Copies of this chain bind each other. A is one copy, B any other.
Amino acid sequence: MSTKPDSEADALSTRAAKAAERRTAIIEAALDEFTARGFAATRIDDIAKRAGVAKGTIYLHFTDKEAMFQELVRTALVPKLQSLTAEPAPGTSVRQMLEVFADTFLRDVAQTRRGDIVRLVMAEGTRFPSLAEFHYRNVVEPGIAGIGRILEIGVARGEISVAALARFPQLAIAPVLLSVIWQGLFGRFAPLDVQAMLRTHLDLIFGERTES
């Protein structure tokens, strides 16, 4: 692909390179605008302005607004999922695995623009069923399955005493989801100590008695 004397590959230095740059700029700008305003209220003109590009250029890369929206939102989360579902080193306790998961999530999702994207999916998912389903298949289901595997290990090892928890990995995820929502909607005037909350949640799962 790289050494083939293809006209496209030859142009890599200037033409294709600039095209790729432009595409990236458009994607960045579009994500900013879509997360800030939602699908319907976002203007293509604004995306173009923010990307430093004319409106027509956008239509060289995407067929229409809806296609652009779906393509962007789809690809924005999937790559990062691997780092979350990565198998942990053997010999770690299940509690540590979940702690790593929570920390990674906080660092890579909740505190970055990816958090906005999660909110965006929740906001627009009803109006774009195919988008919701795509996220279920590619983000939610694998995520749930990964957590489920960890929980099963916890139950098998006796670290987790509520065996039914493995049937509902959603319970382990719920506080993380709540954090994303909370920070987006209320964080400005009612900040939440997410880290401490998630630690408490782990105490709950692992049945550690604590004094206040």
Q: Which residues does A use to contact B, with CB under 8 Å?
A: 36-41, 119, 121-127, 129, 132-133, 135-136, 140-141, 155, 161-168, 170-171, 173-175, 177-178, 181-182, 184-186, 188-190, 192, 196-197, 200-201, 203-205, 207-212
Residues in B neighbouring A170, C-beta threshold 8 A: 175, 178, 182, 192, 197
* Contact indicator A210/B123 (Cβ below 8 Å): no
Residue of B nearest to A178 (CB): B174
Secondary structure dominating the interface of A: helix
* Contact indicator A126/B184 (Cβ below 8 Å): yes
Residue of B nearest to A42 (CB): B40
Asked whether A164 and B38 contact (CB < 8 A) given A185-B126, A189-B133, A189-B136, the answer is no
Whole-angstrom CA separation of A10 from B212 in the bound complex: 61
Residues in B neighbouring A196, C-beta threshold 8 A: 164, 167-168
Residues in B neighbouring A122, C-beta threshold 8 A: 119, 122-123, 181, 185
Asked whether A171 and B200 contact (CB < 8 A) given A119-B126, A122-B122, A212-B163, the answer is yes
Asked whether A127 and B37 contact (CB < 8 A) given A122-B185, A178-B174, A185-B132, the answer is yes
Residue of B nearest to A186 (CB): B136
Interchain nearest-CB distance for A89 vs B (Å): 27
Whole-angstrom CA separation of A189 from B196 in the bound complex: 34
Query: Nearest 6 A-B pairs (CB), nearest first?
Result: A40-B40, A123-B123, A163-B212, A174-B174, A161-B209, A174-B178
* Contact indicator A127/B186 (Cβ below 8 Å): no
Asked whether A136 and B185 contact (CB < 8 A) given A38-B123, A40-B40, A171-B204, the answer is yes
Interchain nearest-CB distance for A94 vs B (Å): 15
Residues in B neighbouring A166, C-beta threshold 8 A: 212
Interchain nearest-CB distance for A52 vs B (Å): 25
